[in-house]
Amino acid sequence: MHKKVDPSLKSEDQRIKAVIIGAGNRSLIYASYALQHPDELQIVGVVEPNLERRQLTSERFGISPENCFASVEELVVHPQLADAAINGTMDQFHLETTLPLLKAGYDVLLEKPIGVSEMEVFELYEAAKSYNRTVMICHVMRYAPFYLEIRKQIESGIIGDIIAIQTEENVSYHHMATSFVRGKWNSIANCDSSMLLAKCCHDLDMISWMKGSIRPKKVSSFGGLFQFREEKAPEGSGTRCLVDCPIEATCTYSAKKMYMEQELWGNYAWDNMHLGIIPTHEEKIESLRTSNPYGRCVWRCDNDVVDHQTVIIEFEDGSTASHNLTGATSKPCRTIHITGTKGEISGTMEDGYFLVRQPDTRSGHVYKEERIELNVAADMHGGGDLRLVADFVRTLRGEKPSLSSTALEKSIYGHQIGFAAERARSENSVEEIRSLV
C-alpha cells in the first residue's frame, strides 16, 4: 500500500503536508513533529468540532482560517489540502472519519485502535487496498529503542526460534483512576473499546510483531473488574473527593492530590490544557467540586471495564505467549521475557536496558549474560511517538519502510488477539484467529 505522494501536493522544499483530525492530546503530540522538523512536515489544516480547540490549534500551527473545519465531511468537499491526515479521534470514530479521508485521497496516520470491532478493522483494511492509500497505525512502541533493539536481536538469531513470550503492562494507580475509572475509556458504552484494546493494544501488537510472519492461531483470556466497585469503597468515603468525602486527605485516589498537588494528568483533567489553557487554582477546585468527572470517587463511577486481565495466545508454529494487564500498580512499567531455542531476552522498558542470556556449558558456569543499554525516553512511549511520525513521513516520500513499520496490513493481528481475548473472557471460550490470506 506504499506509494509516493502526488508531487502537486508537496511544497518545493519537499515537505509532507498534513491535516489534523481531532485536536486532542495524541494528535497534537504527533503533529508536534512539524514544529521540531518544519523542513519535513507542515500542518496545513485542522478538523475539530470544538471551536476553542480548533482556534487554538490553528494558532499553534499557523493554519489559515479557511483550512479549519468542524467535521471531516466539511473537509472532504474541498479540493485535497494535503498529502496526509493525522487522525487522533476517539476510538469509536476511527472508521467513520478515516473512510472519507481515504476516498478523498489522503494517506492516514491513525491512532490505535484501528477500529472498535474486527468488522471495522477489516472494512478499513479493504478500503485502504481499494483506494491504494497508505495507512499507518500508531503502535508507537515498535519505535521505542527498547523494543526495536529486542526485535533486532531476534532477527539476528541470537536466541534461536521463539518458544514463548511473556509480557506485562502494569498501569499505575493514577493512570488507572484517570483514564479507566473516571475518564474517557472507563466504559465500553462510552468509547466502544475494552480496556485491553484501549490500553494493551501496544502490547498485543508487540507480541505479534516479535513473531514476525508467524500468525496467532488461538486465544483465551480471563479477568474482570476486581477493585473499582462501590462495594469495595472504604468505609466513610463520599461521592466526590472535594464535596462529601471525610477521608479525602488520606485517600490514595484523592482528585486534589492527584491532579493538583502531584500535577498528574493535567491534559485530561483540565480542558484544553494541552493547547496552553491553564486554569487557576480556584478554577481547578471549583471544577473538581462540580461538573468535572475527574472529581468523582473512584469507587462510585460509571466504569465497567476490567482492572486486570490475562491473555493466552497460541501461534501457528506451536509457540505461545501470555500478557498480563494489571491496573492500579504503584509503579507503571512494561516487562517482557522471550524464551528461544538458543537463549532468552528479558527486561523492563523503563529501566533502560535488557538482558540477553544463553546457556554456558563451561565448568563452573550455567549461563552467560549480556546487558544491552539503551537511550530510553521517560515519556512519549519510550521515545517512540515522534520516531513513528518520522517513519510515516519517510514512507510517504517513497522511501523503504523501517523494520518497525506499522502499516495497516502489518498491524491487524494484534488487534485480532484483542478482540478474540474479549470474546474468550466473556464467553469462557478459546477463540480462533482469522487469517489475512
pLDDT digit string (tens) for 132-142?
A: 999 999 999 99
Distance CA 406, CA 400 (A): 13
**Mean pLDDT confidence for 285-314:** 96
Instruction: Convert the pLDDT of each residue in 28-86 to its tens digit.
Output: 999 999 999 999 999 999 999 999 999 999 999 999 999 999 999 999 999 999 999 99
Q: How many CB atoms lie within 10 A of CB 244?
A: 11
Percent of the chain past pLDDT 90, that is, above it, reads 86
CATH number of 7-138: 3.40.50.720
Peptide bond into 49 cis (omega under 30): no
Cell numbers standing for residue 396: 510517504
Distance CA 183, CA 175 (A): 10
Q: Read off the pLDDT band of 1 (50, 70, 90).
A: very low
Distance CA 362, CA 359 (A): 9
Q: Is residue 7 over pLDDT 60?
A: no
Q: What is the residue extent of each domain of the chain?
A: 7-138, 142-228+303-432, 230-295
Q: How, if at all, do strands 41-47 and 333-340 pair?
A: unpaired
Q: How far is CA 430 from CA 52, 205, 324, in A?
A: 47, 19, 17
3-class DSSP state of 87: strand
Distance CA 114, CA 263 (A): 31
**Mean pLDDT confidence for 223-249:** 96
Q: Is residue 376 over pLDDT 70?
A: no
Single pTM value for the model: 0.89
Instruction: Please give the pLDDT value at position 435.
Output: 84
Instruction: Please give the pLDDT value at position 11.
Output: 45
- Torsion of the alpha carbons at 31, 37, 41 and 46, rounded to the nearest 10: 30
In the chain, the N- to C-terminal Cα span, in Å, equals 16
CATH topology of domain 142-228+303-432: Dihydrodipicolinate Reductase; domain 2 (3.30.360)
Distance CA 273, CA 279 (A): 8
Q: How many CB atoms lie within 10 A of CB 291?
A: 8
Distance CA 220, CA 238 (A): 38
Distance CA 377, CA 383 (A): 5
3-class DSSP state of 155: helix
Q: Read off the pLDDT band of 150 (50, 70, 90).
A: very high
337, burial (CB in 10 Å: exposed 0-12, middle 13-18, buried 19+) = middle
Instruction: Convert the pLDDT of each residue in 319-343 to its tens digit.
Output: 999 999 999 999 999 999 999 999 9
Sheet holding 84-87, edge to edge: 68-69, 41-47, 16-21, 84-87, 107-110, 135-137
The CA-based diameter of the chain, rounded to the nearest angstrom, is 75
Distance CA 185, CA 204 (A): 18
Instruction: Please give the pLDDT value at position 198.
Output: 87
